[in-house]
C-alpha cells in the first residue's frame, strides 16, 4: 500500500472516533477522503450538511449557490455569520468549512446549479446533495442525477418537520414519488410559514448521515424518511422504482435537460391547486364534514394510534402505506388529511398534490387540536 493509500498520523487522530465504527475503519476513511460531493445550496440544510461532511473527512466538497448572505439567513444557516453579511454564500461557506477541516478541498460554483451546467457538474462529483428551496432546482437535480447515473440525497423542511430522500441509480428516483413539478403556490415556503433553525439542523444532520452511508456502501436501495421534530417521530416511507416514472421508468420521456421543463406548471386538466387551501383549521374541517357533500377524511396515523382515538367517519391509511394505496383515494372528491398534530398529514398532503390530487387539504393541528377545539370527548395522548 502506497503512502497515498494510507491515512497519516494526523488523520488517524482527527478521525479516531469515526474510524472505530463498524463499517468504517481505515478503508472507509480513505473512501471518504477520496469522495467528491456536490452541495446544492449553502443555506439552512446545506450548512449542517457541509459542516458534518467536512468534519467527517470528505475530500472534496463543491458548493453551488448564487445567493449572498442576508441577515434573515443567520438564525438557521449556521455556516454564515454577521462578519460575512453581503458575501457570496459560496465564499462564506468555504471559509467556515475550512475552519472545521483545513485539509478539505472546496470548489466554488457561485453561478449556482442551472440547466446549462447541471450535467457537467453532476459528472464531476460522486454524489449530489440537494438542500435547495425551490421545486425547479429540486427536479433539475433529480433528473440530472438520473441521467448522469449519480446518487442523490435530498432534503426539505417546513415549520417543524422535514424529509430526507436517498435516491440511488436504478432503484427509484425523486420523480417516482413526485412525477411533475407542482405549482409553487401549492406549498408554503419557510419565508411564508416559518421554520426553526434547529429543525434545519436535525434534517441537515440526517442528510449528512445518509451521504456518509452512501459513500461507505451502506445503502443499496432508495428510501424516504419523514421526520416530525415537534412530535418526536420519524417514519421510513415505502420507496420503489415506478415503471411509469417519466425519468427512470421503462419508457422515460425525460432524456435530456431542457430549460423549459423546469418552470413550475399545473396539470392542465385539473383546476389550480391553490383553489383548494393547503391547510384548514379543525373548525373548518368540522364544518366541511357536516356539510351536504362532506370530503373524504383520511387518517394517516398508525393503527395503534387509531385504536386510541379517531374522528368519526375517517378512513385509516397509515402514512407509509399511502404510496401503495393511491387507488383507495379518489381524485374527483375533496380530501382532508389528518394525523396527530398535523406534521405527517402535511407531508401526505404535499405528496398527494404532487400526484395530481387537486382537492386535498391538511387538517392543521390534527386530532389533538380536534379534541381541544371541537370534541373534548376524543381522548388526547
Active site (catalytic) residues: 190, 339
Q: Taking the CB of residue 241, how many other CB atoms lie within 10 A of it?
A: 17
Q: Are strands 161-167 and 223-228 parallel, antiparallel or unpaired?
A: antiparallel
As given in the structure block, the three cell numbers for residue 24 are: 468504517
Pairwise CA distance, residues 277 & 361, whole Å: 6
3-state secondary structure of 22: coil
Joined together, the cell numbers standing for residue 26 give 481505515
Beta pairing, strands 233-237 & 223-228: antiparallel
Q: What is the DSSP string of 13-70?
A: HHTHHHHTSTTTHHHHHHHHHH-EEEEE--STTHHHHHHHHHHHT-SEEEEE---B--
Taking the C-alpha atoms of residue 215 and residue 28, their distance in angstroms, rounded to an integer, is 9
SS3 261: helix
Report whether 47 contacts 5 (CB < 8 A). no
Report the DSSP beta bridge partners of residue 195: 159
Give me the DSSP letters along 132-173. Answer: -SSHHHHHHHHHHHHHHT--EEEEEEEBTEEEEEEE-TTS--
Asked if 353 contacts 186 with a C-beta cutoff of 8 angstroms, the reply is: yes
Neighbours of 284 (CB within 10 A): 15
Question: What's the Rg (C-alpha) of the chain?
Answer: 22
Residue pair 282/373 in contact (Cβ under 8 Å)? The answer is yes
Amino acid at each position: 500500500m502506497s503512502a497515498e493509500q494510507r491515512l497519516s498520523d494526523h488523520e488517524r487522530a482527527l478521525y479516531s472516533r469515526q474510524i472505530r465504527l463498524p463499517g468504517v475503519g481505515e478503508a472507509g476513511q480513505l473512501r471518504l477522503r477520496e469522495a467528491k460531493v456536490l452541495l446544492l445550496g449553502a443555506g439552512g440544510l446545506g450548512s449542517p450538511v457541509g459542516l458534518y461532511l467536512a468534519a467527517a473527512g470528505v475530500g472534496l466538497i463543491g458548493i453551488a449557490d448564487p445567493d449572498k448572505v442576508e441577515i434573515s439567513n443567520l438564525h438557521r444557516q449556521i455556516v454564515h455569520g454577521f462578519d460575512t453579511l453581503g458575501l457570496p454564500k459560496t465564499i462564506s461557506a468555504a471559509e467556515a468549512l475550512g475552519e472545521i477541516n483545513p485539509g478539505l478541498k472546496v470548489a466554488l460554483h457561485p453561478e449556482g446549479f442551472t440547466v446549462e451546467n447541471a450535467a457537467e457538474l453532476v459528472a464531476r462529483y460522486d454524489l449530489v446533495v440537494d438542500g435547495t428551496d425551490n421545486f425547479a432546482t429540486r427536479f433539475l437535480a433529480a433528473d440530472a442525477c438520473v441521467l448522469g447515473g449519480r446518487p442523490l440525497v435530498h432534503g426539505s423542511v417546513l415549520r417543524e418537520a422535514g424529509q430526507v430522500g436517498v435516491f440511488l441509480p436504478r432503484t427509484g428516483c425523486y420523480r417516482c414519488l413526485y412525477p411533475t413539478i407542482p405549482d409553487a403556490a401549492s406549498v408554503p415556503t419557510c419565508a411564508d410559514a416559518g421554520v426553526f433553525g434547529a429543525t434545519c439542523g436535525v434534517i441537515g444532520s440526517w442528510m449528512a448521515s445518509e451521504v456518509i452511508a452512501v459513500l461507505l456502501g451502506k445503502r443499496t436501495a432508495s428510501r424516504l424518511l419523514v421526520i416530525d421534530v415537534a412530535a418526536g417521530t420519524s417514519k421510513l416511507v415505502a420507496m420503489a422504482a415506478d415503471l411509469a416514472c417519466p425519468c427512470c421508468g421503462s419508457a422515460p420521456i425525460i432524456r435530456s435537460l431542457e430549460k423549459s421543463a423546469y418552470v413550475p406548471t399545473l396539470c392542465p386538466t385539473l383546476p389550480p391547486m391553490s383553489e383548494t387551501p393547503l391547510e384548514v383549521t379543525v373548525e373548518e374541517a368540522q364544518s366541511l364534514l357536516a356539510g351536504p357533500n362532506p370530503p373524504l377524511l383520511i387518517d394517516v396515523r398508525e393503527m395503534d394510534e387509531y385504536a386510541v382515538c379517531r374522528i368519526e367517519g375517517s378512513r385509516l391509511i397509515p402514512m407509509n402505506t399511502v404510496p401503495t394505496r393511491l387507488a383507495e383515494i379518489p381524485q374527483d372528491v375533496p380530501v382532508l388529511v389528518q394525523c396527530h398534530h398535523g406534521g405527517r398529514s402535511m407531508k401526505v398532503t404535499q405528496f398527494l398534490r404532487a400526484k395530481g390530487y387537486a382537492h386535498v387539504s391538511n387538517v392543521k393541528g390534527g386530532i389533538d387540536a380536534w379534541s381541544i377545539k371541537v370534541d373534548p370527548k376524543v381522548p388526547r395522548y
